[in-house]
Each structure stands twice: as C-alpha cells, then as structure tokens.
Chain A
Amino acid sequence: ILNVEQSPQSLHVQEGDSTNFTCSFPSSNFYALHWYRWETAKSPEALFVMTLNGDEKKKGRISATLNTKEGYSYLYIKGSQPEDSATYLCALKEGGSNYKLTFGKGTLLTVNP
C-alpha cells in the first residue's frame, strides 16, 4: 500500500509567522507530487505540481521544494495571514497509473490574527 504522510497534523501560528510542513512519500516509482489548499465547503485548490528532483515552486507567499531521492516535499508559507487558514494536502502520482492521486491526511493550519 502506497503511504503518503504529512506532518504535523495541525499547526497554530500567529499572523506574520512563517511556517512549513512536510509531505513524505516512497521515493521509488515517483512521477509527480501535488499540493492542494482546501478550505471547508470549497473545492481543493491546486497550488503546485512538482515533477523534478530539486524543483522549487513559488506562488506569492507560498513556496514548495521537492526531493524525490529521499522522498519528501516541504511547503513554506512566509508571513502567514488569517486567510491562509486551511488544510494543506499533498498527493502523489506514481509512474504507470492512470493519473490517480494518493493523498496524505493533510496539515490543518490555523493562523490567529
């Protein structure tokens, strides 16, 4: 069974703090790693799709890195704002499948004003 793990499960930070969380996955048969931002009652929003070892992607205050050899990705949020409060999901696509995603359990971020 393919296991994608995220840590921490939840995180409370103050407005203005920078934060980061981890997604770890089996490094064999890697194809792509997705990050999503999910607010309750809304659609999960695609943040990044990462495919290459050493990839770094950035979208505003949010950035992500990828290490496929050791099987992890970090998501960073610089200067957290209350509107960043959401669950951040990572999902792995392995080689050979019809693009099904295997998700981690998510990190619930709460940013206090």
Chain B
Amino acid sequence: EPEVTQTPSHQVTQMGQEVILRCVPISNHLYFYWYRQILGQKVEFLVSFYNNEISEKSEIFDDQFSVERPDGSNFTLKIRSTKLEDSAMYFCASRTGTSNYEQYFGPGTRLTVT
C-alpha cells in the first residue's frame, strides 16, 4: 500500500542552524501539508501546498519557515535558523484531490534543537 515517507526520523541540531526535513508524499497526490506536535500539545497545522505554491499557512509559519517541492516526488520543510521552541515532531501529509478528504500522514521527524 502506498505510504508517505519522511526522513530523517530524528534530527538533532544546534540553535541557529538550518534544517531541512524531507517528505515523499504518495505519488498521485496533489495537496501537501506540514503539521507539528510539540511534546504534550496538540498536533497543529503549519502549511498547505498545492500547484507549487502555498495555499494556506498558520501564524506559526513565519519567515523562518519555507516549503518546496523541488522535483516530482519530494516535499521539504526548511527552518532557516532554528530556535529551542522549534523542537517538535513534524508530520508531512498528502491527499489526492477535492473529492477525497482523507489526509495520509507520514511517521514524522522528531526535531530536537539544543
């Protein structure tokens, strides 16, 4: 069964460093998302991406964050200068199109900023 994959599973970085989290969505999906869950808190929406542009972003998704779909398969989240409070589990999700509501999630990347 097709699945969303994410790499790495765990990333440790120092404050101020740039990180890139990678996702490979399901191949025929058209809509892509990033969510995150800070330990002990709710999963929260960061950004949605369709047709090679951001369609919606939350207030968390400030200028330090960017997303890209550099080729036909990868979908990346970049954090330019990480802060301690960026430590969280980051989930990628994708879905096919407007008639199918299901979002399929990857297993997440745990980002630890020290």
Using a CB–CB cutoff of 8 Å, the interface residues on chain A facing chain B are 4, 32, 34, 36, 41-44, 46, 49, 51, 89, 91, 93, 97-106
Tell which of B3, B48, B107 touches A100, judged by Cβ atoms closer than 8 Å. B48
Complex: how many Å from CA A44 to CA B3? 11
Using a CB–CB cutoff of 8 Å, the interface residues on chain B facing chain A are 3-4, 9, 31, 33, 35, 41-45, 48, 50, 55-56, 58, 91, 95, 101-108
Query: A43-B3, A44-B91, A105-B41 known; A99 and B106 CB under 8 Å?
Result: no
Contacts of B56 on A, CB cut-off 8 Å?
97-98, 100
Report whether B50 and A103 are in contact in the complex, using a CB–CB cutoff of 8 Å: no
Nearest CB in chain B to that of A5: its residue: B42
Tell which of A4, A42, A101, A105 touches B103, judged by Cβ atoms closer than 8 Å. A101
Report whether B4 and A43 are in contact in the complex, using a CB–CB cutoff of 8 Å: yes
Task: Specify which of A32, A49, A93, A98 lies most central, judged by the most chain B CB atoms within 10 Å of its CB.
Answer: A98
Nearest CB in chain B to that of A33: its residue: B101
Contacts of A106 on B, CB cut-off 8 Å?
42
Tell which of B9, B35, B42, B105 touches A104, judged by Cβ atoms closer than 8 Å. B42
Report whether B48 and A99 are in contact in the complex, using a CB–CB cutoff of 8 Å: yes
Contacts of A102 on B, CB cut-off 8 Å?
45
Tell which of A51, A98, A100, A103 touches B101, judged by Cβ atoms closer than 8 Å. A51
* Nearest Cβ on chain A to B29's Cβ, whole angstroms: 12
Contacts of A91 on B, CB cut-off 8 Å?
43
Report whether A103 and B102 are in contact in the complex, using a CB–CB cutoff of 8 Å: no
Report whether A105 and B107 are in contact in the complex, using a CB–CB cutoff of 8 Å: no
Complex: how many Å from CA A49 to CA B106? 18
